[in-house]
């Protein structure tokens, strides 16, 4: 049975040689996990994504050398490329000539407001996009919302500050006369992804949405979490591009594209697996999809080992986050009961927002188990 889905009538946004929104096919995206300066490996992975059907491929750029490498990568692949500016809005100038889309996160622009208000930073980014024929993604992430926005609402309400931030930026970018942008609102909790995107789509049905569940983890759980969110959103006509973020070794990363296509195709064919449920009352392991910022390749194996070692706690409502780097690891683990983020030689362990220290890769599992046992004991006594 083909499912009749009436898509939201979003505006068309061209990204390189594809167009998203306005009823165009839902584009599937991914991100390279190779070291960006390893040009051969990065080109090879970008091409593998493109051949698997990726509409856009994001590349991490953290330094001038990465930006230089990006120029060469651009010459060697026909994939539509994107870069995330992270905390460095000025990077837009160096990368815009080589990419088709620039992502900025409103939650990264509020620093040093007095010297340079966020509006000036956005103006700068948009000017680079105009000068170099780029689209923009305004990417709001639950882990990095402007603290001033969060302070206005109940600490339990993580969704309203995200929406307020996205709407504010859309209105500002519109006021600059620039409409070639999409928005993303991501969280690691599929039900929050559904709610935040539904509420945004009601307020701005014209703006194309890029959907994703962050740090979804390893397959099959990561695919299930993502499917739960996408079925509810795409089935209601919401979503113009998607990413399935999976923790996978480099040679298996194109599976993200295959998973995204399969979910979208299934929804359109009516193969909606409402029977597939993500049990948010059970142990939840979230882990990032990895990217060039990973400093120790052992991260992927560690994520897998954490999943296996913690199975004995599967019936407890506990979240464990495993992140691959020091850039996003410390912040993205704040909401988990136990968080691990990987450095070059040590793994940092947190319980909630409290840092418990850094441990060798061969020491971390028993240390994690100790903390997990302590949490289980507290829950059993409650
Ligand atoms: Fe990359 Fe770090 Fe995010 Fe993982 S947490 S995807 S390594 S930036």
pLDDT 10s digits, 302-330: 999 999 999 999 999 999 999 999 988 99
Task: Report how far apart, in Å, the C-alpha atoms of 369 and of each of 95, 264, 306, 325, 353 are.
Answer: 43, 38, 9, 21, 18
In a domain, 2, yes or no: no
Structural domains in the chain (count): 2
Ligand 1 mutation pick, 325, 331, 344, max ligand atoms within 8 A of CB? 325
Shared domain for 306 and 244, answered yes or no, is: no
In a domain, 56, yes or no: yes
Shared domain for 134 and 19, answered yes or no, is: yes
Give dist(CA 311, CA 283) in Å, integer.
8
ipTM over 0.85: yes
CATH number at residue 292: 3.30.413.10
How far is the centre of ligand 1, averaged over its atoms, from the C-alpha of 205 (Å)? Answer: 30
How far is the centre of ligand 1, averaged over its atoms, from the C-alpha of 255 (Å)? Answer: 18
In a domain, 50, yes or no: yes
In a domain, 4, yes or no: no
In a domain, 8, yes or no: no
In a domain, 273, yes or no: no
pLDDT at 1: 54
Domain that holds residue 319: 284-381
pLDDT at 275: 47
How far is the centre of ligand 1, averaged over its atoms, from the C-alpha of 345 (Å)? Answer: 16
| Residue 342 is labelled as binding a ligand | no
Q: Please tell me whether residue 202 adopts helix, strand or coil conformation.
A: helix
In a domain, 19, yes or no: yes
Give yes or no for residue 329 CB within 6 A of ligand 1. Answer: yes
In a domain, 108, yes or no: yes
pLDDT at 116: 87
- How many beta carbons lie within 10 A of that of residue 31, not counting itself? 23
The pLDDT profile of the chain, 382 residues, written as one tens digit per residue, is 556 788 999 999 999 999 999 999 999 999 999 999 999 999 999 999 999 999 999 999 999 999 999 999 999 999 999 999 988 999 999 999 999 999 999 999 988 777 789 999 999 999 999 999 999 999 999 888 988 899 999 999 999 999 999 999 999 999 999 999 999 999 999 999 999 999 999 999 999 999 999 999 999 989 999 999 999 999 999 999 999 999 999 999 999 999 999 999 999 887 776 545 556 678 989 999 888 889 998 999 999 999 999 999 999 999 999 999 998 899 889 889 999 999 999 999 999 999 999 999 999 999 999 999 999 999 887 7
How far is the centre of ligand 1, averaged over its atoms, from the C-alpha of 33 (Å)? Answer: 9
Give dist(CA 298, CA 28) in Å, integer.
28
346-351/338-342 β-pairing = antiparallel
Give dist(CA 378, CA 382) in Å, integer.
6
Shared domain for 294 and 240, answered yes or no, is: no
Give dist(CA 373, CA 176) in Å, integer.
54
Predicted TM-score (pTM) of the model is 0.89
Specify the residue for token string 């996003």.
328
Ligand 1 mutation pick, 244, 324, 334, 342, max ligand atoms within 8 A of CB? 324
Shared domain for 146 and 248, answered yes or no, is: yes
């Amino acid at each position: 049975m083909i499912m009749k889905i009436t898509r939201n009538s979003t505006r068309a946004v061209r990204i390189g040689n594809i167009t998203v929104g306005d009823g165009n096919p839902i584009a599937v995206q991914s991100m390279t996990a190779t070291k960006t300066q390893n040009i051969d490996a990065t080109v090879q992975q970008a091409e593998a994504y493109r051949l698997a059907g990726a509409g856009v491929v994001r590349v991490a750029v953290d330094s001038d050398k990465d930006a230089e490498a990006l120029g060469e990568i651009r010459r060697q692949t026909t994939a539509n490329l994107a870069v995330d500016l992270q905390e460095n809005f000025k990077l837009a100038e160096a990368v815009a000539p080589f990419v088709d889309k620039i992502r900025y996160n409103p939650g990264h622009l509020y620093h040093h407001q007095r010297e340079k208000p966020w509006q000036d930073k956005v103006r700068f980014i948009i000017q680079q996009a105009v000068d170099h024929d780029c689209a923009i993604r305004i990417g709001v992430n639950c882990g990095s919302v402007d603290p001033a926005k969060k302070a206005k609402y109940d600490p339990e309400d993580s969704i309203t500050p995200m929406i307020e931030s996205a709407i504010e930026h859309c209105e500002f970018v519109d006021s600059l006369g620039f409409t070639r942008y999409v928005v993303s609102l991501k969280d690691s909790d599929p039900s929050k992804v559904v709610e935040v995107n539904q509420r945004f789509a009601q307020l701005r049905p014209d703006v194309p949405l890029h959907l994703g569940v962050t740090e979804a983890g390893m397959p099959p759980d990561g695919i299930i979490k993502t499917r739960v969110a996408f079925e509810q959103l795409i089935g209601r006509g919401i979503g113009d591009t998607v990413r399935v973020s999976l923790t996978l070794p480099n040679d298996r990363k194109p599976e993200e594209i295959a998973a995204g296509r399969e979910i979208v195709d299934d929804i359109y064919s009516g193969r909606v697996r409402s029977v597939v449920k993500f049990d948010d009352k059970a142990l939840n392991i979230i882990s990032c999809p990895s990217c060039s910022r990973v400093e120790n390749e052992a991260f992927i194996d560690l994520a897998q080992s954490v999943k296996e070692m913690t199975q004995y706690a599967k019936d407890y409502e506990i979240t464990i986050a495993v992140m691959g780097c020091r850039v996003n690891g410390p912040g993205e683990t704040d909401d988990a009961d136990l968080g691990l983020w990987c450095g070059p030689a040590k793994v940092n362990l947190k319980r909630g927002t409290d840092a418990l220290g850094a441990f060798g890769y061969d020491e971390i599992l028993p240390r994690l188990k100790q903390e997990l046992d302590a949490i289980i004991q507290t829950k059993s006594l409650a």
